[in-house]
Structure 1
Amino acid sequence: MIYLLLSILSSSIIFVVFKLYTKFGINTLQAIIVNYYIACTVGFFGYIENFDISRVPAESWFPGTLFLGVMFISVFYLAALTTQKSGLSVVSVATKMSVAIPVFFGMFLYNENTGILKIIGIFLALASVYLTSIKKKEGISIKKKNLIFPLLVFLGSGIIDATIKFLETSYVSESDVGLFSSTIFAIAGTIGTGILLYQVLTGGLKITMRNILGGIALGIPNYFSIYFLVMALRSPEFDSSSIFTMNNVGIVSVSTLLGIAFFEERLIRKNWIGISLAIISIILVAQS
């Protein structure tokens, strides 16, 4: 349970960092790429002992990290497009509702518990994510021509979580969790560097110290959000569908409360209903 709580805390800190990006005028792309290298470094020097980097490509989980690295960058790009075309609330809903994919992946592929309380809890969790994420009384609206972007964010985010679960279960030993997590970030950072260099060479972007510092601030909690999630998935206390549900609902709820405490955000009635449903869903899933 402690790993789950730490994963929720780490991911919620990421929310605070992203909010500060807007305040300090930090370029998100630059910061994201720097963040991947910082996250990778934290893992290599803090959670890996006596490792030989030359053996990484021979690991059975390495092809999976290549796939995840590509997905990390792709989903980030799609999220940016969705934000531009449909707004931040749409991205938030698409990302968090994607928990349905790894939840049902675990329930059907690994025959995890599907009791009535758990199923009710999962549907309440999905409802809470939607209600907590929207910021307008009328809800969210998406033009038909832009619907493909949040749909791809939904699928991409869910596939990332489901892939992490699959690799963690089938290929990653407990002693390799740190190396596995760091490798994902290293690959994402390498791909992102190629994009960044292209923009620099074409004169579309200038690297600044402010953006580098923003990446450092993001990279540390980002590493731990993945590391602690993988460790939580290894816990015998809960199955993966319960972990993913409680993790996502916990992140949405804590992030919302942090927004109130530090950024003076105002919540509409739907947000408060969402938080209430989140608490109920966690209780139901934890007890099932």
Structure 2
Amino acid sequence: MQYLLLSILFSSFIFVIFKLYTRFKIETLYAIITNYVVACIVGLLFYEGKVELSSIPQKNWFLGAMALGVLFILVFNIMAATSQKLGVSVASVATKMSFVLPAFLGVFLYNEYLGSVKIIGIIIAVLAVYFVSVKRNSDVFKLSMLTLPFLVFLGSGAIDTAIKFFQELYVPENEFALFSATVFATAAVVGLIFILANSRRKPVKVNFRNIGGGILLGVPNFFSIYFLLKALDYKGLSSASIFTLNNVGIVMLSTFLGILLFKEKLESRNWLGIGLAIISILLVAFS
């Protein structure tokens, strides 16, 4: 359970850092690429075995890790844009409502059992996530503004599903750090290729503010994935339970951080969402 709590903590920091990028005028793409380089380095340092680069492409999970890295940088950029344009809580909600995808796919892919109480808990969790995010006089849920949250929802769901898939079938526990480092390295390379491809139109400039923002993001980014893998490896809870508890916990914590750090306001319906979130956690955890 401590791994789940640590994943919630580090994941919530990511949304806060994205919000700080706007305040300190940090260019998101450059910072995100730096973040992936840092996350890769942390993963290699955290790996307890001997790192042999020539052997990594021979791993069963290598091609999947590369595909996941490409998806990571795409979703991260969309997530950052959502956080900056629509607010921390909205970005968190759009990301974390995606838990319904891996939760229910776990039933079909891994024959996990969902009892009636747990299903009710997941349904309440979806309602909780909605009510925590919705704001009066907000443009977020107008049709013209749904694109970013919807893309984040689909992308995050695909990432969570892929992480569970590789953890379940291909990645042994002692290679969690190496697998994560490979994912982040791929994301960094893809980002660098994109920047170089656009260098004629927009020359590359070294900006220490962007580098600092990337370093600040890289450490919690690595540990959010690493501890999620460790939590999924725990046999006492199904993946549906893990994803539900993890994502609802992130929504609650990032929302409270948005209040404390950025003075984001909560309405009565948002407090209702928090109450529903607590009920959903109790139902899923103790069913």
Q: Tell me whether the two structures share a fold, i.e. TM-score over 0.5.
A: yes
TM range (shorter): over 0.9
Which residue is equivalent to 1:233?
Answer: 232
Which residue is equivalent to 2:250?
Answer: 251
Give the alignment of 1:1-288 within 5 angstroms. Answer: 1-79=1-79, 87-88=86-87, 91-136=91-136, 140-143=140-143, 149-203=148-202, 206-288=205-287
**Is 63-72 or 88-97 further displaced after alignment?**
88-97
Q: In 1, are the aligned partners of 2:7 and 2:223 still within 8 Å (CA)?
A: yes
The structure-2 alpha-carbon separation of the partners of 1:206 and 1:70, relative to structure 1 and needing over 3 Å to count, comes to same
Q: CA deviation at 1:159?
A: 0.9
Q: In 2, are the aligned partners of 1:137 and 1:268 still within 8 Å (CA)?
A: no
The structure-2 alpha-carbon separation of the partners of 1:267 and 1:217, relative to structure 1 and needing over 3 Å to count, comes to same
Matches of 1:269 and 1:8 in 2, distance apart?
24
Q: In 2, are the aligned partners of 1:107 and 1:113 still within 8 Å (CA)?
A: yes
Query: Is the partner of 2:141 in helix, strand or coil?
Result: coil
Matches of 2:285 and 2:245 in 1, distance apart?
8
How many residues in Structure 1 have an aligned counterpart in Structure 2? 286
Matches of 2:171 and 2:259 in 1, distance apart?
38
Q: Which amino acid aligns with 1:122?
A: I
Matches of 1:25 and 1:35 in 2, distance apart?
16
**Is 116-125 or 257-266 further displaced after alignment?**
257-266
The structure-2 alpha-carbon separation of the partners of 1:79 and 1:222, relative to structure 1 and needing over 3 Å to count, comes to closer
Instruction: Supply the RMSD in Å over aligned alpha carbons.
Output: 2.1
Query: Is the partner of 2:259 in helix, strand or coil?
Result: helix
Matches of 1:148 and 1:19 in 2, distance apart?
19
**Is 262-271 or 233-242 further displaced after alignment?**
262-271
Matches of 1:259 and 1:143 in 2, distance apart?
25
Unaligned 5+ segments in structure 1 are none
Q: In 2, are the aligned partners of 1:102 and 1:241 still within 8 Å (CA)?
A: yes
Query: Is the partner of 1:74 in helix, strand or coil?
Result: helix
- TM-score, normalization: structure 2? 0.92
Matches of 1:82 and 1:45 in 2, distance apart?
32
Q: CA deviation at 1:79?
A: 4.2
